[in-house]
Structure 1
């Protein structure tokens, strides 16, 4: 081995055990997943939007990218259950947020992924050392060893016993806040579904959705997307599911002739197109247009009638997203404007059709945005209802007598759906409701979109 002093005299530095270079190298996929959790927690980012940036930053593709995506998304989706399990393993439940993120990622690998226990524990300890410091590594090791000593089913029986409090059990077992479980249970019954479907609805929220494409009519034929590898859903005439592969290799998507859009959103746009309008039918309005998927489909539908869509969005950065999203819509677009939908720049009676896809709690889209369940509160719903009523009133004033408005939300919550429509109808004698539907992820394979078609009368 030789004398350390002799090595120093020869110009070769003695090894330093605590140098960063000597630390175990953390797997880039796990680093990427940790970065996503941090962005969601610290920056209020949406996982599905920040993931592509993080994957590119770490140079991840193929199986490594898929691993990081499942690790991050699954951990966020199941963090309520995982926190209950982690807390059951602690004598002092209070943890630094960064340490809890490391533990959540480790628990997901142990209980939900095909990762050997020793690998899940070892890489989590390395991640804690790299991102937090040496202090919590012993705690991370001890907690994950305890977690790995039992199966997921055994932990569920311990932290989520199925007793008299059915909603309390479902809240922990399906990883939803209790208030969300209560509101979704009320929504099922209020929209005419049996309350016994609640467990299926909550379970559907925890299934990663398939990528759904939209073939914008007049710009691309469904057959072209089928030839590229997509499969029609059999419900919306323009909806296809994508089985996998690089979407950037599909010319219609790159050129904007097709897009990625949930089938529920497509059916909302189709509801506006399907309504019968007598007389002039030239001016359509998308009142809350961001990020632009519905505007692009509406523009394609409008172009087939010789009509044009004006897309309005309150936030300028989202207006720019809309402008990019409708870049291929051509003759179907009248333009994109930035403006407050409750204080319109246009005169009353300007439009023949209007869509109000109102800002909402997003509780119908938890499959796509699992972090929303942890970010929203019951108070948010109360505040949003006021805005939703104002936006629907603005849209009804914006259409001419005989014109139609479709009010939509990606939430099934009664206060945001039928409650808003019924309240606005009760205050007006010049509006009638012609149709209403509620979609469900566990029944329709799409987000829980609500839509009501209202007609402005003379």
Structure 2
């Protein structure tokens, strides 16, 4: 059951009066509605809220899969469904009650994106509306669902999707805000993956990839877990990272290594960034001391967990810095197995809370390798966080831009001559990637830009192509099957 499924077979209209229908919706649909309400009303994150809701409802197997697809599919395709609902309801969706709108979006996804008969989707939607907003809302939902069921997905697409311009057509048909569509088109050209002639075709592939659920990627943290242990637990070998495995189904937390923190859920693109930073040659310290590594923005701890394992393997010390107390604790939990091993081997792994913008001033020329995994819009992870596309606004870039530049500048200051800085974001947006690096470096004469593509490719176990014109590297969901991670590698000079 995916959002790409098309309706098959004769459509069955619901002719049951709302008052004669089921008084309560079934548990999978009620669970999905609870999650959608938490996301739209309370600002919750679906990937955090849904697992808790499934446990509370004691859902597993097909019921859990149904609730999961209903939740994520509704969030992904919300833009398209809002256009359909507005036409069917003959009013802008902004005039609908929020709870009713959630129900209608769920109903639209069942009819247009899942193999659910119209009468079943309508009956259950009416029951949800009645419990959420009363009998009057149930009548409205009944009427709108009946109109939605009168057309196929293809017919609705033809009706509500503008033919031109291309960006507006893709924004509706592939359900993305218009500003994100335009920004991603510019990013594809700016990073050298597309030209003005083929940008629209490549853009369509990228947007479509955002609507396909991402595989669950695992990382076996070297020295703490071997990939074979994950494979024995039912995972499959990863595509790019030597420490990756893919879990096609099931709960990652049921795997001993994941539950114990020796392995973790981590996108392969994220793994490659840490591996690339760890493998860049760095001159030995004059005093012969071990290398010191810094993860400047370590929360919630995914990259820090892999960096800690790599640091131990290479005989280095690591400081994981995070500005938020809450996220610092998440980093500490992520690094706990590595910290125990470091203690046994006389190495130092430190987790601390602090403002990354002042690290360069407080600890100048201290570290050999510095990761600046800067806060960003997350436009590279829209497969995993479907609500992010509707939550983010262009104004977010205004606040993030100065922060990203300050953090990168601080990371450079904290690096000793000969050391390496990795600037990374989970976004291909030009304002968060190449523009940040350009603006910081034009004020400095003590930084050499390395070819990130070379080191990223060397870290991979298979041939990586499509990383851009260089010297920076950009990964893409539709091309590499990873999140849209950006990497710039810089060497501090004298």
The number of residues matched between the two structures is 437
Of 330, 333, 355, the match for 1:340: 355
2:219–2:263 Cα contact (<8 Å) kept: yes
Distance in 2, matches of 1:123 and 1:42, equals 22
Partner secondary structure for residue 328 of structure 1: helix
Question: Which residue does 2:182 correspond to in 1?
Answer: 182
Give the Cα separation in 2 of the matches to 1:97 and 1:368.
Answer: 24
Partner SS for 2:293: strand
Query: Residue in 2 aligned with 1:403?
Result: 419
**1:104 matches 2:105:** yes
2:295 aligned with 1:286: yes
Q: Distance in 1 between matches of 2:284 and 2:157?
A: 60
Question: Which residue, out of 308, 313, 316, partners 1:299?
Answer: 308
Aligned residue for 1:124? 125
Give the TM-score, by structure 2 length. Answer: 0.86
Partner residue, 2:29:
30
How many Å apart are 1:91 and its aligned residue? 2.5
Q: Deviations over 1:71-113 (max 9, x none)?
A: 1111011100000000011233221111111100110111111
Q: Tell me, which stretches of 5 or more residues in structure 2 are unaligned? A: 1-20, 452-471
1:247 shift after superposition: 2.6
Which residue pairs with 2:335 in the alignment? 326
Residue 361 of structure 1 and its aligned partner are, at CA, apart by 0.8
Equivalent in the alignment of 1:206: 211
1:455 CA drift (Å):
0.8
SS at match of 1:135: helix
Would you say the 8 A contact 2:22–2:123 is kept in 1? Answer: no
Q: How does 1:183-332 map to 2 (within 5 A)?
A: 183-194=183-194, 195=199, 196-280=201-285, 281-330=290-339, 331=342
Give the SS at the match of 2:380: coil
Alpha-carbon contact 1:425-1:432 (below 8 Å) kept? no
Deviates more, 1:173-182 or 1:308-317: 308-317
User: Is 1:374–2:390 an aligned residue pair?
Assistant: yes
User: C-alpha displacement at 1:333, in angstroms?
Assistant: 5.4
CA-to-partner distance for each residue in 1:398-457, whole Å, 9 max, x for gaps? 111111110000000111101101111111001111022100000000000000011111
Of structures 1 and 2, the larger Rg is shown by 1
For residues 302-323 of structure 1, the C-alpha deviation after alignment (integer angstroms, 9 at most, x for no partner) is 0011112111111111111111
Between the two structures, name the one with larger relative contact order (CA 8 Å, sep ≥ 6): 2
Partner of 2:465: none
Whether the 8 Å contact between 2:78 and 2:105 is mirrored in structure 1 is yes
Residue in 1 that maps onto 2:430? 414
CA distance in 2, matches of 1:123, 1:74: 17
Partner of 1:451: 487
**Superposed CA offset, 1:152-192 (max 9, x none):** 1110011113x330001000000000000000000000011
Mapped contact 1:205–1:441 kept (Cα < 8 A)? yes
SS in 1 for 2:40: helix
- CA distance in structure 2 between the aligned counterparts of 1:234 and 1:59, rounded to whole angstroms: 34
More moved, 424-433 vs 226-235: 226-235
Structure 1 residues 75, 336: closer, same or farther in 2, change over 3 A? same
**8 Å Cα contact 1:213/1:258 also seen in 2:** yes
Question: Helix, strand or coil for the counterpart of 1:343?
Answer: helix
Residue 317 of structure 1: SS of its match in structure 2?
helix
Which secondary structure does the structure 1 equivalent of 2:371 belong to?
strand
Secondary structure of 1:406's partner?
strand
Q: How does 1:93-172 map to 2 (within 5 A)?
A: 93=92, 94-161=95-162, 163-172=163-172
Aligned partners of 2:385 and 2:262: how far apart in 1? 26
Q: Output the CA distance in 2 between the equivalents of 1:208 and 1:33.
A: 16
CA–CA separation in structure 2 for the residues paired with 1:184 and 1:414: 9
Question: Which stretch shows the higher mean deviation, 446-455 or 345-354?
Answer: 345-354
2:58 is aligned to 59
Please say if residues 282 and 418 of structure 2, whose CA atoms lie closer than 8 Å, have aligned partners that are also in contact. Answer: yes
Distance (Å, rounded) in 1 between the aligned partners of 2:353 and 2:426? 22
Residue 432 (str. 1) matches residue 448 (str. 2) = yes
Give the match's secondary structure for 2:89.
Answer: coil
Q: Deviations over 1:342-370 (max 9, x none)?
A: 12384211211110110001111000001
For the aligned residues, what is the CA RMSD?
1.5
Q: Give the unaligned 5+ runs of structure 1.
A: 1-21
Q: Distance in 1 between matches of 2:216 and 2:131?
A: 34
Who is 2:3 aligned against? none
